[in-house]
């Protein structure tokens, strides 16, 4: 089991007013799964993703990652897990401005213990998302779809076990969105675990399992029959070479 959440509770304390964001969440994800977490805004799906992604600590409960209990891990240990076991893809891309595509992809490697072949590894990651030719473009010189692909390359570069994608198509037109989903599907086929957060059913149907969360509780957890799964094609961006 790659991810095992047991009785996870997350409360936010806003000046004495306690908001219960996650109430007793239990969730297991196996290696190689493609899980979509769905729910309306305010349902706690983002908090859930942040907790699974070690960006946030649960108030109580146990989190086993790759069989290891992560309770009591120091901030530095969590940073290390984020760096080489997890890749993040955000809705708004979050690329460094005034920085080349290559340098953006190399950024996680800078915080990585393995210093060898950084540039080569970044190029391989960029080729995997079809951007091997755009290494020296500045992050503001490329289209939104390409930005998200750079972000996926950045998530891939440390060869993580799992990729978290938080509304990865939220800021994209349907063509670019389709290309991005196609890449995620491909990565999943190659054996990488994908956890996707979305409120869009069509996007969620790319996954093989949909977890629905409402008011901080998991209300459904179903496998998607192969017949209902959506598969996106790679659609060439107008600006692609």
Which positions lie near other proteins, rule CB under 8 A?
50, 53, 55-56, 75-76, 79-80, 82-84, 88, 90, 92, 94, 96-99, 103, 107-108, 110-112, 115, 118, 154, 158
Pick between residue 62 and residue 118 the one whose CB is nearest to other proteins.
Answer: 118
Angle, CA 86 vertex, CA 84 and CA 92 arms, to 5°: 120
Angle, CA 53 vertex, CA 4 and CA 196 arms, to 5°: 85
| Least Å from the CB of residue 48 to other proteins | 12
156, with CB counted inside 10 A (0-12, 13-18, 19+), is buried
Pick between residue 76 and residue 228 the one whose CB is nearest to other proteins.
Answer: 76
| Least Å from the CB of residue 58 to other proteins | 13
Pick between residue 162 and residue 210 the one whose CB is nearest to other proteins.
Answer: 162
Structure-token pair, residue 148 = 């998200």
* CA trace torsion 10, 192, 183, 176 (10° rounding): 0
Pick between residue 86 and residue 210 the one whose CB is nearest to other proteins.
Answer: 86
Pick between residue 128 and residue 151 the one whose CB is nearest to other proteins.
Answer: 151
Pick between residue 109 and residue 187 the one whose CB is nearest to other proteins.
Answer: 109
| Least Å from the CB of residue 176 to other proteins | 20
HEC profile of 137-148: CECCCCCHHHHH
Q: Is 24 helix (H, G, I), strand (E, B) or coil?
A: strand
Pick between residue 47 and residue 232 the one whose CB is nearest to other proteins.
Answer: 47
| Least Å from the CB of residue 51 to other proteins | 10
| Least Å from the CB of residue 146 to other proteins | 18
- Mode of pairing for the β-strands spanning 86-89 and 3-14: unpaired
**What radius of gyration do the chain's Cα atoms show?**
18
Instruction: Name the strand (E) or helix (H) holding 46.
Output: helix 45-52
| Least Å from the CB of residue 30 to other proteins | 24
CA gap 40, 218 in Å, rounded? 12
| Least Å from the CB of residue 232 to other proteins | 26
CA gap 154, 205 in Å, rounded? 25
């Amino acid at each position: 089991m790659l991810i095992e959440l047991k009785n996870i509770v997350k409360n936010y304390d806003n000046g004495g007013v306690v908001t219960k964001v996650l109430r007793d969440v239990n969730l297991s994800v196996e290696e190689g799964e493609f899980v979509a977490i769905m729910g309306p805004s305010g349902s706690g799906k983002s908090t859930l993703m942040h907790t699974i992604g070690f960006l946030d600590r649960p108030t109580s409960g146990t989190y086993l990652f790759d069989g290891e209990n992560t309770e009591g891990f120091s901030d530095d240990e969590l940073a290390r897990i984020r760096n080489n076991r997890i890749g993040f893809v955000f809705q708004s891309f979050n690329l460094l401005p005034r920085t080349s595509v290559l340098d953006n992809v190399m950024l996680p490697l800078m915080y990585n213990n393995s210093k060898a072949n950084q540039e080569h590894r970044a190029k391989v990651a960029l080729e995997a998302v079809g951007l091997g030719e755009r290494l020296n473009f500045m992050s503001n010189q490329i289209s939104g779809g390409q930005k998200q692909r750079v972000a996926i390359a950045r998530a891939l570069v440390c060869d993580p076990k799992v990729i978290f994608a938080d509304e990865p198509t939220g800021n994209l037109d349907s063509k670019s969105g389709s290309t991005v989903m196609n890449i995620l599907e491909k990565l999943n086929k190659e054996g990488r675990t994908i956890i996707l957060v979305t409120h869009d059913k069509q996007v969620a149907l790319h996954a093989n399992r949909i977890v629905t969360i409402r008011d901080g509780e998991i209300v459904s957890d179903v496998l998607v029959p192969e017949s209902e799964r959506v598969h996106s094609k790679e659609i060439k961006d107008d600006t692609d070479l």
